[in-house]
Homo-oligomer: A and B are copies of this chain.
Amino acid sequence: MFDPIEKLKEFIRYPSVSADSNFGEGMLGAQTFLSNLLASIGFEVEVVKTDLHPIILASRGSNPEWPYVIIYGHYDVQPADPLNLWDSPAFEPEQRGERLYGRGTADNKGPLMTHVAAVAKLLERDPDLPLRITFMVEGEEEMGSPSFPKFLERYKDRLGEADFVFLSDTGIPNEDQVVITCGLRGLVLFDIEVTTAKSDLHSGLHGGVLRNPIQALAEVCATLHGPDGRVNIPGFYDDVLDVEPWERDELVKYGTDTAAYKKFLGIPEFYAAEGFTPFEAVRFMPTLDFNGIGGGYQGEGSKSKTVIPSTAFAKVSCRLVANQDPKKIRALLYDAIAARMPKDVTFKLIDQHEGTPYVVVPPNRTNTPADQPPVLAKGFRAAHSAITDVFGKEPLYLREGGSVPIIADIKRVLGLDSVMFGLFLPEDNLHAPNESFHLGVMERGLKVSEQVLGKLARG
């Protein structure tokens, strides 16, 4: 049996930034490393080519009578910039105290390694385990998984035989309190690009007769929220469902310390929808945010580069909640923006990726659908008892603010629900400098995964 932490360090050293084409070598390294590791613990590994980054499909067990679990993960990571804000190099894992620092430690290499190690340990002890397991590990999650739906369609028959998907790509509030995520927000991303002239022009010679694209863009962006902070797009909230009381109750158990949350975020005040606590707002309400804006001169020497730029852009993303349709929301947004754009500028609304929101009702909560598949229900119950046993506390069942669009895709194409066993902490700095993973949580997570899979197989 390998050392999970050492193996994780190796995994981190491959800079697998999927969204940046300069990192091709890191992507290949991470993919090869993981394939070899899975082969070494007895899995039959297939590297499935896609238009962009391959998907690793590794399976063991073929008896169709056995329960069948797919374990999902991703080997790609977010870009690491701004690099100067890291205390240790992003791709040189460094253990400080109980934490391992490095890009991808928490999202998603650490949690994925937790499951790989759990399976390795379980199979070492019980080589004939009557359980079918498939690791399905993609390399485009941080880009919005563009190749994944097509892959699911192609492997629909084979993967559709599974009972449910087991994964750890969601969060928990502290190292003792596990959360089983029962919902994820959807996504709609797009760019607004405004053009006013065929080239940048001198603001002295011509300033006074030119439409400034930054001004036009700012004017439109400023209309997208009302004075109350709500998204100011007609129909935007129409399909948002009321939150069920058990969900609010469960969230209260999660935490009510808004002062600590504020401090953690490093913000002076929350800017949340009325009628919702901050914890509710990030889970139950949709958003519209600007992820980036650019135009004109931004470099050194900016003091005097007094051009009037010809173009400016903003990168916009919406998080959607259960029952909102990304395509419908995109259309509402585009219509409103087009109507509000000054008539004297040229603009483009450029589609970026989107994802459907997802929700599953766990079998031990109210309103459990009677027809929930038995192995899925067994998975939820096994997770509940293993978590209670290992972490010493019952898990909470919560929706989460983040998006894992492929969870909704898996449901749509394969008909499978997911048991999302959270493993990363708020302090893990996902998508930000100094990302880290708590090694104590990793150790406990490993035990839970081992117990859940063991129980599914041996009852």
A residues in contact (CB < 8 Å) with B: 17-21, 78-79, 81, 85, 142-144, 171, 185, 187, 189, 191, 196-212, 214-215, 217-219, 221-225, 261, 265-273, 278, 281-282, 285, 287, 289-310, 312, 314-315, 317, 319, 344, 346, 352-353, 400-403, 426, 430-433
Does the CB pair B294–A203 fall under 8 Å? no
Given known contacts A197-B265, A214-B314, A294-B294, is B287 in contact with A207 (CB within 8 Å)?
A: yes
Note all chain B residues with C-beta closer than 8 A to A196: 267
Does the CB pair A209–B301 fall under 8 Å? no
Q: Which residue of B185, B201, B214, B281 contacts A290 across the interface (Cβ within 8 Å)?
A: B214
Does the CB pair B309–A208 fall under 8 Å? no
Given known contacts A197-B265, A209-B278, is B319 in contact with A291 (CB within 8 Å)?
A: no
Does the CB pair B225–A221 fall under 8 Å? no
Note all chain B residues with C-beta closer than 8 A to A301: 17-20, 79, 142-143
Does the CB pair A401–B205 fall under 8 Å? yes
A303: min CB distance to chain B, Å? 5
CA distance A155 to B309 in the complex (A): 38
Note all chain B residues with C-beta closer than 8 A to A431: 200, 202, 305-307
Does the CB pair B292–A207 fall under 8 Å? no
Note all chain B residues with C-beta closer than 8 A to A215: 221-222, 224-225, 289-290
Q: Nearest residue in B to A285 (C-beta to C-beta)?
A: B208
Note all chain B residues with C-beta closer than 8 A to A200: 431-432
Given known contacts A200-B432, A208-B285, A309-B292, is B344 in contact with A19 (CB within 8 Å)?
A: no
Q: Which residue of B261, B292, B308, B426 contacts A298 across the interface (Cβ within 8 Å)?
A: B292
Which residue, A85, A185, A221, has most C-beta atoms of chain B within 10 A?
A221
Closest 6 CB pairs of A and B: A19-B301, A198-B266, A204-B402, A292-B296, A214-B290, A222-B222
Q: Which residue of B221, B291, B304 contacts A203 across the interface (Cβ within 8 Å)?
A: B291
Q: Which residue of B85, B218, B298 contacts A294 across the interface (Cβ within 8 Å)?
A: B298
Does the CB pair B282–A209 fall under 8 Å? yes
Q: Which residue of B143, B207, B298, B433 contacts A289 across the interface (Cβ within 8 Å)?
A: B207
CA distance A270 to B209 in the complex (A): 5
Note all chain B residues with C-beta closer than 8 A to A289: 203, 207, 210, 212, 215, 306, 308
For this chain, the copies found in one complex come to 2
Given known contacts A205-B282, A205-B402, is B79 in contact with A267 (CB within 8 Å)?
A: no
Q: Which residue of B223, B281, B298, B319 contacts A204 across the interface (Cβ within 8 Å)?
A: B319
CA distance A199 to B211 in the complex (A): 33
Q: Nearest residue in B to A310 (C-beta to C-beta)?
A: B266
Note all chain B residues with C-beta closer than 8 A to A307: 291, 431-432
Does the CB pair B309–A432 fall under 8 Å? no
Q: Which residue of B142, B291, B295 contacts A296 across the interface (Cβ within 8 Å)?
A: B291
Note all chain B residues with C-beta closer than 8 A to A210: 265, 267, 270-271, 289
Does the CB pair A302–B292 fall under 8 Å? yes
Note all chain B residues with C-beta closer than 8 A to A17: 301
Q: Which residue of B144, B211, B290 contacts A304 across the interface (Cβ within 8 Å)?
A: B144
Does the CB pair B222–A304 fall under 8 Å? no
CA distance A312 to B268 in the complex (A): 17
A146: min CB distance to chain B, Å? 9
Given known contacts A208-B282, A278-B209, A304-B143, is B290 in contact with A293 (CB within 8 Å)?
A: no
Report 20 cross-chain contacts, Cβ distance below 8 Å, ordered by A residue: A143-B303, A202-B402, A204-B319, A204-B400, A204-B401, A205-B402, A207-B287, A207-B317, A208-B281, A209-B282, A210-B270, A215-B290, A289-B308, A290-B296, A292-B298, A292-B305, A293-B293, A293-B294, A294-B298, A304-B352
